[in-house]
Amino acid sequence: MGKRPEDLPLDDQPLRRTEPVDVRDTEWYQFAQAIHELLGSGEFDWASDTLGGIAASVEQYHTVTPGQRRAVENVQAARGRSDGWRRRYEGWRRR
């Protein structure tokens, strides 16, 4: 036995939160744009696969994870090293 239509709450409220009209104000969009700016600068070509993958995931799922934030911060920190050491897959080596 089910409910009658009169027993159902049939108001005009949406079932879930709707997307904002302007996505440029959302956190995920701004994060993805920041990644695209990093890629466009030409200084992070060595990490283009990583940054591009993160941007694609953020744009697809409309969310940013703490791990994605840390990864982008790590890439930025690795570029800013000025002590002559560079990160390689095998470990750190001197230039």
Domain holding 51, by residue range, is 23-79
Contact assessment for residue 64 and residue 54, using Cβ atoms and an 8 Å cutoff: no
Contacts (Cβ under 8 Å, ≥6 apart) of 68: 31, 54, 57, 58
Using a 10 angstrom Cβ sphere, with 0-12 exposed, 13-18 middle and 19 or more buried, the burial of residue 54 is buried
What is the Cβ-side half-sphere exposure of residue 37, based on CA atoms within 13 angstroms? 7
Does residue 32 surpass a pLDDT of 60? yes
Name the token pair of 30: 């701004």
Whole-angstrom distance, CA of residue 33 vs CA of residue 28: 9
In a domain, 55, yes or no: yes
Tell me whether residue 34 is in a domain.
yes
Q: Would residue 68 count as lying in a domain?
A: yes
Please indicate whether residue 72 or residue 12 has the higher confidence score (pLDDT).
Answer: 72
The model's pLDDT over 51-80, given as tens digits with 9 standing for 90+, comes to: 999 999 999 999 999 999 999 999 998 876
Domain count, the chain: 1
Q: Is residue 33 part of a domain?
A: yes
In terms of pLDDT, which residue wins out, 85 or 50? 50
Asked whether residue 30 is domain-assigned, the answer is: yes
Q: What global pTM score does this model have?
A: 0.65
For the residues 35-55, what does the mean pLDDT come to? 94
